[in-house]
Structure 1
Amino acid sequence: MERRRFRWFPRGIRLRTTVAATVVVALALLGASVALVALQRQQLISGLTDVARQQGDTIVGEIEEGGIDEVDVGAVKAAVGDSALLQILTPDGTVRTASDDDYLVHPITTSTPPAGDTVVYTVDALPGGAEPFVIVVSGVASPGGVVRVVTAQSLESVERSTTVLVTLLSIGIPLVLVVVAATSSMVVGWALAPVEAIRRHVAGVSTADKDARVPVPTSGDEIARLAETMNSMLARLQASAEAQHRFVADASHELRTPLATIRTTTELATLHPEAMDRDRAAGLVLAETHRLERLVSDLLLLARSDEHGLIMNVEDVDLDDIVTGEIARIRAQGALTVEVDVVSVRVTGDAQHLLRAVRNLMDNAVRFASTTVEVRLGTMNGVAVLDISDDGPGIAGSERERVFERFVRLDDSRERGTGGTGLGLAITREIARAHGGDVQVFTSERGGAHLRLSLPLPLPAGAAAHPPPSAARR
């Protein structure tokens, strides 16, 4: 509906701006022209009215001094000129004298102001005439009653001046509007030239132009900031595309490895059963199937997290129960010494996700520990803190953030051999941040890796709780 409603409006910023500027200036000029014409007309009429009033005052003075019979008609005719008219009306309405012989019989006014008053008005034409006049009627006391002195000035000069002014405005305003439109179009086109250059550049960017950037004007204005924002967006898109590329490549590689092992083992057991023990082949296939299942599960979790955030079934969770359960699982393997310092800690979150995060951290420690894994759980400053340390090779300071990236291995061959996929720590951080916490890496006292999972403790009763922005609840 909105598109249909404004379909008539010009398209294109340059054209719309030019039209809008021209319309605004046209309305302003039209209003100013109307006001100018009205003001000029009023001033001219006022000037002629003053002239007629002065002429009438002169005759009124003569009548007051010597009476109506003492008025010099010849002097009156000479004083008013050809564009004016004078009549002196007796108390009974008879024309006593007039400056124009055509008006010696009929009065040009019916107004009868009292002595000492003056009436001013305009008429479109006098009796028998065709020109507009302004008429001033003054009342003068006399022994026989009120004598009226009528002076009239022709408004023909006003009409001519108004016509000339309107004609000039009718010619000038369109010319001004043409100049305004041309100037607006030129200025807007000049201002939008960098935007058009950005548009053309962006339109020419293809998937092959990973390093393509738009030119940034040196003006330092809004357009320059737009270009900088576009370049930042292109950089983010490039980083996202490269990350997706790496993710797909790594996922394909990780999926291909167990599949290749399963296929090779199956083919060898089928074609050369004497060379492959059945139980050993089944064990290899089962192990690779478990690895494949774990990898697919991790990929699905990350994909869902990227699209909608983690789906959280929020409840009170005894974090110490999860930790002690995982400790028991590690001890059951019997390969490492596990030192424990765990206190009772309850948090709010998704029990399955928290179990997965703790298990990933535990498995990471077991994978690289030489002899000992240390597990500590407690609280600090309103936060639940789980510290898991090992006496393995540790993680260099420059790699402590990179280990949380997907499919990152600090030693590819070693981690593949121990069954890692390079997704465990990435998933752990996703889960921690979905719960409002985080995961950090330090160096343990034994020189190995020290990973710390921190989670917020439940708020006191009555306090408002807000879910983390990255989590979706159900």
Structure 2
Amino acid sequence: MRATWLMGSVRWRITAAATLAVLIVLAVTGGALVAAQRSVLTDNVDEVLHRHSTAIIAALDAGTLPAVISGQGDDESFARVTDVAGREIAATARSLADARLAGSLDSGDGLQTIRSIPGPEFRVLSTTRSGLRVLVGTPLDDVQDSVDALLAGLFVAVPAASLLLAAVVWLLVGRVLRPVEAIRSRVAAMSGSTLDRRVPEPNTRDEIARLARTMNDMLERVETAGARQRRFVADASHELRTPLARIRAQLEVDRAHPEAADVAATQRSVLDEADTLQRLIDDLLLLARADSVREPRQDEPVDLDDVVMDEARRVRGTRPVSVDAGRVSGAQLRGDRDRLARVVRNLLDNAVQHGGPHIVISLREVDGQAELTVADDGAGIPADQHDRVFERFARVDESRTRDAGGSGLGLAIAREIVAAHGGSIVIDPLHRPGVRFVVTLPTGGKTPPPPVS
């Protein structure tokens, strides 16, 4: 099992590939070296034969060629001069080589290599001059011995060098991959309760260091998301438990004291709490869908000014506040009318709950964007809470009850809907007193600049 794992590892594959590549290169280089050495040594032999043949021809021309030609170099080297009929004019002392090669020579001029049986190969030069044929030859056993010695050395050196390289590559790759294994083992040991751990980061600037930093950034995001999810579940449980506890308490009181029970009042209270639960569950489902995937939305022309005016009239008719909508001008965009109305409604409800008695709404279209603002004259929101108020179940004052502070989902839902429409929602940091929410939505005209929060 371990052998199979090793053979499938990156370390093994890199080592095998590097060793195989070097082995092929060394084998090819060794073959080329052997061929080059054989060629050089054979050229040297040919040069000696040419000099010997030239000397014999010069002696023939001068008429000083003796009947017995002196040999050169190897004991088995030979020289012969014959006429057209094949009669010998002059020759070296009779040798075994001369006898073995006598019947193997070609009739043409030039160099040729002849294998003697038994014995080594011979290199023979044949030259015709003035009707006489001059043959000089020498054995190639020295050349073959030199080539064999080189081959023997290469047969030892090439495998040894390849094994040494394999060991070096194995160690180097293991050293390089050691941080990766440390990252893998650390991540493998993590669980949902140990997301605060981080993988070790090498003190380098290479790809592995960047991988470690990326892993740590991802773990930080996962830890943050997990913390938010746990907080979301806890807050949702609390928000759901509160109305259920009130319903249970009222029903238990009526059951314990039936003679004093006001059935009609209890029914109204239970229905109110049920409505509250229904709204809370709907909000939670909306946010859950926004977390999972981008749910398909309606894409139709929406007159945003009509939506704003409808919500303003709703607030005037149900709440004891004044709503100034005199700065609302025409703005049309494409989107989901019901969800855009939900954004305006949540912002107005937030202003009614936490602001003063006066609310100001404005709407205008600037550079391809619809800019909607909702301002109140209440106590405002501290600057360090401007981002936090858009989180789920967030309340500026944690001591507020649910009835006074709402569920804490309204602004989070507004942000999700605005983001789904390609817009942004922020708090104007310069508005005093109270708070002023600024919503920007693309209208499909001039390309808007990126939102800045």
- The CA deviation string for residues 78-132 of structure 1, in whole angstroms up to 9 with x for no partner, is 435413121212122333333242547946523234xxxxx1121222xx65321
Pair 1:71-2:43 in alignment: no
TM-score, length-normalised on structure 2? Answer: 0.91
Distance 1:11 1:334, change over 3 A: closer
Change (3 A) 1:452 1:246: same
Aligned residue runs from structure 1 range 349-388, under 5 A: 349-388=335-374
After superposition, the C-alpha distances for 1:390-420 in whole angstroms (9 at most, x for unaligned) are: 1211111110000011111112443612362
Q: Which residue of 2 aligns with 1:403?
A: 389
Q: 1:85 to 1:443 in 2, by over 3 A?
A: closer
Query: In the alignment, is residue 278 of structure 1 matched against residue 263 of structure 2?
Result: yes
1:40-439 counterparts in 2 under 5 A?
Answer: 40-66=37-63, 70-74=64-68, 76-79=69-72, 81-102=74-95, 103=98, 106=102, 108-113=104-109, 119-125=110-116, 129-141=118-130, 146-340=131-325, 341-414=327-400, 416-418=402-404, 420-439=406-425
| 1:310 alignment partner, SS class | coil
Q: How does 1:27-38 map to 2 (within 5 A)?
A: 27-38=24-35
Report which stretch shifted further, 17-26 or 395-404: 17-26
Q: Is the 8 A contact 2:104 2:114 kept in 1?
A: no
Equivalent residue in structure 2 for 1:456, among 420, 429, 442:
442
Cα distance in 1 for partners of 2:308, 2:401 equals 24
In the alignment, which residue of structure 2 is the partner of 1:472? none
> Where does structure 2 lack aligned partners over 5 or more consecutive residues?
none
Query: Deviation string for 1:115-156 (max 9, x for gaps)?
Result: xxxx1121222xx65321111111212xxxx21111112111
Superposed CA deviations along residues 296-336 of structure 1, whole A, max 9, x for unmatched, are 11111111111112321111111111111101111111511
CA contact (8 A) 2:330 2:365 kept: no
1:42 Cα deviation from its structure 2 partner = 0.9
Give the direction of change, closer, same or farther, for the CA distance of 1:367–1:123 in structure 2 (3 Å limit).
same
The 8 Å contact of residues 80 and 86 in structure 1, kept in 2 or not, is answered as no
1:445-465 Cα offsets, whole Å, 9 max, x none, are 6611111111111237xx9x9
Whether the 8 Å CA contact 2:71–2:79 is kept in 1: the answer is: no
Quick one: distance in 2 between partners of 1:106 and 1:206?
A: 90
Q: Secondary structure of the equivalent of 1:101?
A: coil
In 1, Cα distance between the equivalents of 2:102 and 2:444? 107
Whole-angstrom CA distance in 1 between matches of 2:148 and 2:5: 36
Q: CA offsets, 1:31-78, max 9 Å, x none?
A: 111001111111111111111111111111111222xxx41243x234
Q: CA deviation at 1:29?
A: 0.7
Partners in 1 of 2:435 and 2:394 — Cα distance? 16
Count of paired positions: 442
Q: Pick closer, same or farther for the CA change 1:60–1:275 going to 2, 3 Å.
A: farther
Change (3 A) 1:106 1:20: closer
Q: Cα deviations across residues 424-448 of structure 1 (Å, max 9, x unaligned)? A: 1111111111111111112686611
Query: In the superposition, relative to structure 1, how do residues 155 and 443 fare at CA in structure 2: closer, same or farther (>3 Å)?
Result: closer
Give the unaligned 5+ runs of structure 1.
1-6, 114-118, 469-474
Partners of 1:352 and 1:94 in 2: CA distance: 122
The alignment partner of 1:79 has SS state of coil
Looking at structure 2, the residues matched to 445 and 311 of structure 1 have their Cα atoms a distance apart, in angstroms, of 36
User: What's the TM-score once normalised by structure 1's chain length?
Assistant: 0.87
3-state secondary structure, aligned to 2:7: coil
Q: Is the 8 A contact 2:71 2:77 kept in 1?
A: no
Q: Determine helix, strand or coil for the equivalent of 2:356.
A: coil
C-alpha RMSD over aligned residues: 2.4
Say if 1:371 and 1:391, in contact at 8 Å, map to a contact too.
Answer: yes
The 2-side partners of 1:50 and 1:326 are apart by: 110
Name the CA distance, whole Å, in 1 between partners of 2:92 and 2:361: 125
Task: Quote how far apart the aligned CAs of 1:20 are.
Answer: 1.4
Letter of the structure 2 residue corresponding to residue 369 of structure 1: G
2:375·2:435 contact (CA, 8 Å) conserved in 1? yes
1:412–1:274 Cα change, 3 Å: farther
Q: Quickly say closer, same or farther: Cα 1:95–1:275, change in 2 above 3 A.
A: farther
Any idea what SS the aligned residue of 1:394 has?
A: coil
Structure 1 residues 21-32: aligned runs within 5 Å: 21-32=18-29
